[in-house]
Structure 1
Amino acid sequence: MRLIFRADGNSTIGLGHVVRSLALADMVRAVAPCWFAIQNPSAAIRELLHQAQVTLLELPTQPTAEEAAYLAAQVQPDDVLVLDGYAFDTAYQATLRHRGCRLVVIDDLRAWPSEADLIINHSPGVTPAMYQARPHARFCLGPEYSLLRAPFLTSFRLPAPPAPIAKVLLCFGGADPQQLTRRFLAALLPLESVREVGVITGSAFPYTPQLQELAAQHPAKRVAFYQNAAAPEMVALLQGHDAVVCPASTILIESLFLGKAVVTGYYVENQRHLAAYVQEHEQAFSLGDLNTIAADDLQATLAQVLQRAAHQPRQPYVLAPGPERLQAEFRRLLPAGPEIVP
């Protein structure tokens, strides 16, 4: 019996699916051995998988439909297959289900009917009625099922009281193909209230020299660069800054779990819901669509939002983390557990 996680990550799509799948693997590794299936893993991803203590199942590069048949031939009926990605549609899932294995999907798109036995979506405000699911499918929906790595769960804090913001942490993902990091760093450095800026990138980020040149133009400001920060280091960095500027992705949830003030927004469609939700529920401060903010307006907009964050109390994103039910749901999927309706 194996738990096989299927996700991809690279410099184009980022590492979000890989990171949250590994977080889930860490939560449920007591249930069964964890494997990770992925195409073309880079050296950085191989190291990430090694650190996570999962067994690599490297997949050949091939179209999605052909991959489904290939992967189905690699799994056994006793395996549980966890899919996290936007290419694993109904047809892909059905091919694997015909093999007899149990299926789990991490699905924040709700774009097609699901063949899964268990559907996970840690986005807020989502209900089972929003899915086209199998009659006996089970659900783990909402922020209490946030797929975060162990250091973030153990460091959980309710929102800190408002306080002056002098140290800001920027994190727009490991790859940041839109180069939002540079735009926001350029807007933050001239702000008189901001004394220090931390910048987090990943191994797939190619623009660090340009950022360093930008920082050199503001010698009065302290700018520190961090790359490939492991989870414990990420926790320390988030805790060591007064506010975080990031997209409405996993880094936003990690920051909220640590009680931090966050300025967020979205640059792809699947981030829009979370950005709007945390704004509406006064949990963070959203700038909306980050792609549409004019460069000339960004500095003033950031100054205004950081001023609000320094004075406005925030509501908790979740009252307490609860990964225990996720582990219980995975135990149900194993042959030794309650019978699964086919």
Structure 2
Amino acid sequence: MKRLHYLLIALFVFIGTVNISAQNLDRNTVSFSRLRLPLTPLPENIKFYNPKLDLGYIYHGDSKTEVEQKLQNAIKIDGLERGPAGEDCLTIMARLETYYKSEVRFETVQKSEKRGDETVKVTYHYLTFDYKYPLYYELVLPGSYSAESNGFINNSNEMKSYTSAEYRNKGDLYKWWNENYKSLQAKLRQDLLNSNASSLAHLLDNRFGYKTVKDSEMFFTVKKFKKFEYTDLDEAYSIAKQGLEMMQEDQPLPSDAARSTMSKAIAIWVKALDEADLENRKTRINSKVAGAIANNMVNLYTLMGEFDKAQEIINKADEEFKKDGWTYMAQEKLNDLKKRIEANQITIQ
């Protein structure tokens, strides 16, 4: 018992030593609005979109009005107005094909179960069938159009498989199926329609829309630690926050004034990073703090369109800094913004 007591004391001492030898980081989230550019910009002469629906058989009990409304809500592109067909209008066709269900297959499976001291084989009954509710879309421009612009959403032309719960008694399975057949089919149709319509809306919005989005970035600051002060990093964060709050919801990149403000924050972080000692955990800017500063710099460089600088810091962080996994999301955002800027041929000032 006494030995356990000493072991616990030693463990607490070790934990305390670890805690006092590492700086604590604060996470600060800044929210702002910006214009998200399309991945596939449409020709400049296209100002309107015209939705067209082609519906297959709508089952009794399903509301045709609700189905049409759901698809109409999905067929739109931010930045374009709905209008009549013409030389400046994109036609978006959505074809909802008839829901299909295969023949029901009644199956059995044997399972081993304990009955007292013995293990016995027990037969369970279930049913399975295949189904689909295909939703096809097609974009038609008055002129030529090279982008991929048609197909089945979510591979909805391919069959999905449904499997029921298992029943000990075949009669119970039949009873459940007879009582729930219609409601189950209605739910499967509704779930597929909701999912496919949502995916169509996302595809149109993500690839072709000019949309004001609510965005946010996370910045690290460092708490005072022993003799070390981090007022410079606090100041940099405050300046960066000012710059982000100057972002405009109708612009994809910061204004000149916002960019100038962000550059002041970056200059402070660059100076702090220059004093980093990655081999010494007890210095002011150690590997952990360096990684936090790198995160902050990458966030601003990416939003400013300085993609090469952001990429250089991500690579360095991956190789040298303690980063706690933030580089993965930073890389995803960098790649996305870079694709959109390049696709729209935006020049970085």
Smaller-chain TM-score range? under 0.3
Structure having the larger proportion of residues in strand: 2
Structure having the larger proportion of residues in helix: 2
| TM-score, scaled relative to structure 1 | 0.26
Q: Higher relative contact order at CA 8 Å, sep ≥6: structure 1 or structure 2? A: 2
| TM-score, scaled relative to structure 2 | 0.26
Structure label with greater radius of gyration: 2
